[in-house]
Amino acid sequence: MDKLFCFVIAVVVCVSCQRSNELNLSTLLKEMVDREQLTRFPEKDYQSLQASSYNRESISPDKPGWFADSDGIGFIRTEDVNGETEWVIMEDEGPGVITKIWAVCFYYGLNDTTGANIKFYLDGNPDPVINTNFFELVKGQDFVKPPFAEETARAGNLYFPIPYAKSCKITMDRKSFYNIINYRKYPKGTPVKTFTRKDFDDLAGLTEEIGAILLNPPAAVGMVSEEEQILKKGDTLKVQLPEGQHALRQLEIKIHAAENYSQALRSIILTGQFDGNTTVWTPVGDFFNNVGKIETYDMWERSVKEDSTMICRWVMPYRESGSVGLINLVDQPVTVSLKTIQNEYRWNENSMHFYASWRHDSPTPTFPLFDWNFLSAEGQGVVVGDQWTVLNPTEGWWGEGDEKIYVDDDFDRNFPSHFGTGTEDYYGWAGGVVPTPADQFSKPFLGNIIVGHPRSQGYNVCSRTRVLDAIPFNEKIKFDFESSCGTRQSWFYLQYAQTTFWYGVPGVTHNRPPSPEMAAQALPKLEDLQAFIENAKNELFVVGGALEAENINLSGKSEAVGEDFAEIQVWGETSNGDLKNLWFEQPGDFAEFTLTEQFEPSKLKIATAVGRNSGIFKIFVNNKHILTQDLYSNHAGITSPYIDLGEHSPVDNAFKIKFVFEGINEEAQNIDQKAALGVDFFLIENNFLNR
């Protein structure tokens, strides 16, 4: 351990000397274990970006398709290379660095575990610097070995950095399938040395040293404080840290005795106050990925040992004053101990405070789909990790949702620079089957710490640590995850709790204040959530204010347009349990609805079915063409968000909404030459109810 610590000190000094110089494989490897560098806003102002195979039906949060599944099919384009087709899955004009690659390790079916080759073209070179089997590369079975590339559960993750000076293009030699690529984009002119296999081979010794540190994180060295106390409800155990420029380098917590241990994990709160601000306020169990029980694991920044000692190694600096503490919010005496290791720290203009912000909600509906917010912050900072706790009431899949992370300019584009492919993919593993406790794992930067028994029922906890793939923001960030699962019924609920770990420049603001009321509540139990769902089943799903299309007679249609020709499949529910079922044959055929008794300008929206049998339609309001909508989707469902037709004035006290059939998507499948239009409901929004 002493040898490793000395090496870390040497690494930190070496990286500090080279920060103004060239970025290369050596500096990037050393940065992976430089904890202090994370506490400073990057001097080389890079963007953290992501390429993925997300479904390109997702165009904008205010347009249909925003929650489209089939996230393994997206790619940038295809190219002909020496007579062979290659699928481009990532492309960037450098300088930059590939920081992480994830791939599901089966290919269009669980039986094909060979998949495609992946090729890396750097700096415009027509010959790839890497050309190898994709799955072998990310599982550590090729030239990059664990812990820099490693298999988890039906997936693999490559963390070995791949820098490039001018450009990077990554392709697959077979059709694109589930993949996520994280990379840094540096400003033009940033000196970067492009990856070569020779440099890789020459740095074998350094790579081995860094790998050993990642697998055996060295303990911090410095002044040690240790306290133990029996906490009654409302009591606090507090450790005051030395005054002046210092940093908390390591934190160890142990809950020795509690009558209700699982409740203590939720209701004993870890707090941190630095330079007059509370930046850490999180239940101890949530902070350490242990919700409902103690589960041992080892990650780069956090560990839980066999004796239930919980260790945090994130550096927490301050300029003038700092303290950490434990607060008991539960009505039972709890014996706890708190150990801190701290030493001096040089505070400068790039230094940041450490934050751990927590959110916990009452049972959350999973239909209609929506984006559940982890964190929103304004100012400057860097996101360095997160964990998500999901209480799943049944055996089955709970994590269909994609991450959507908006950074700085993304807000103007109204599209996130990080758009993922599924919850388990974000946390480094893969679905394909319903997870079981056999899928639990912990790696330096990834953890599937708790999986419910027997098939994801109960508590599930995933966690991710970011170092090279950390996400800086200069102005603001919004970190969302889709609330989506395998069951799409309005009565089906999950219960979430979530912690985001990040650093912020003084003055940063965020939307996650302390939440003592939620932390003091009884830890939600499986049977409580199941009873909640049984009550919800008795309520018919009806969208408030909806004009149900199935109750409206068509005011006009082409002769060939028929009703109820075949069932229109929907994954999820329709408002009031039904929809208008229409089928079209010839382009130009139409169906028209007239919404009467309308007396003022109103905003109009429509909810329709999407699916493999759905057609492409021009939509008119009062004979004015508003938009053309392709309703094809690989997954049947209801448009979410609803189709927004804008604001219109009624004509003769009515809105006439006409659908004109244009044809079908090349991927769509008609039935007996017929294409479907399923209209669920109309929404008319105005000030009528406010008068």
Range 540-544 contact pairs with CB under 8 angstroms and sequence separation of 24 or more: 540/576, 540/577, 541/367, 541/489, 541/490, 541/491, 541/573, 541/574, 541/575, 541/576, 541/577, 542/575, 542/576, 543/575, 543/607, 543/681, 543/683
Give the end of a domain, one of 168, 203, 238.
203
The pairing of strands 370-378 and 476-483 is: antiparallel
> Is residue 266 in a domain?
yes
644 and 558 in a common domain:
yes
pLDDT beyond 50 at 1? no
Provide the domain count of the chain: 3
pLDDT at 106: 95
419 and 286 in a common domain:
yes
516 and 558 in a common domain:
no
pLDDT digits (tens, 9 = 90+) for 109-145: 899 999 999 999 999 999 999 999 999 999 999 999 9
pLDDT digits (tens, 9 = 90+) for 643-663: 999 999 999 889 999 999 999
CATH label of the domain that carries residue 508: 2.60.120.1390
436 and 578 in a common domain:
no
197 and 286 in a common domain:
no
pLDDT digits (tens, 9 = 90+) for 55-70: 999 999 988 889 988 8
pLDDT at 262: 97
> Is residue 35 in a domain?
no
The pairing of strands 353-360 and 277-283 is: parallel
How many Cα neighbours within 13 Å face the side chain of 386?
24
pLDDT digits (tens, 9 = 90+) for 389-423: 999 999 999 999 999 999 999 999 999 999 999 99
pLDDT at 7: 52
Share of the chain above pLDDT 90, in %: 90
> Is residue 668 in a domain?
yes
pLDDT at 16: 44
480 and 553 in a common domain:
no
Give the end of a domain, one of 506, 535, 564.
535
pLDDT digits (tens, 9 = 90+) for 334-365: 999 999 999 999 999 999 999 999 999 999 99
The mean pLDDT of 157-182, rounded to a whole number, is 98
Tokens 């299309």 belong to which residue? 549
pLDDT at 70: 84
pLDDT digits (tens, 9 = 90+) for 165-176: 999 999 999 999
274 and 141 in a common domain:
no
> Is residue 620 in a domain?
yes
pLDDT digits (tens, 9 = 90+) for 581-599: 999 999 999 999 999 888 8
pLDDT band at 489; cut points 50, 70, 90: confident
Helix (H/G/I), strand (E/B), else coil: 210:
helix
Q: Which two tokens stand for residue 286?
A: 């949530």
Q: What is the distance in angstroms between the CA of the first residue and the CA of the last residue of the chain? A: 73
| Beta-bridge partners for 177 | none
> Is residue 286 in a domain?
yes
pLDDT at 13: 46
Tokens 């209609």 belong to which residue? 368
406 and 277 in a common domain:
yes
Domain span at residue 590? 547-690
Tokens 């388990």 belong to which residue? 424
Beta-carbon contacts of residue 308 (< 8 Å; ≥ 6 apart): 254, 255, 294
The mean pLDDT of 569-581, rounded to a whole number, is 93
pLDDT beyond 80 at 149? yes
553 and 514 in a common domain:
no
The mean pLDDT of 413-439, rounded to a whole number, is 96
The mean pLDDT of 216-223, rounded to a whole number, is 95
311 and 266 in a common domain:
yes
The mean pLDDT of 488-507, rounded to a whole number, is 96
| Beta-bridge partners for 609 | 638
555 and 485 in a common domain:
no
660 and 555 in a common domain:
yes
Nearest one of 583, 651, 638 to 608, comparing CA atoms = 638
Residue 8: phi and psi, rounded to 5, are -60, -45
Mean pLDDT for the chain overall: 95
| Beta-bridge partners for 302 | 312
| Beta-bridge partners for 71 | none
- With 0-12 / 13-18 / 19 or more C-beta atoms within 10 angstroms meaning exposed / middle / buried, residue 291 is buried
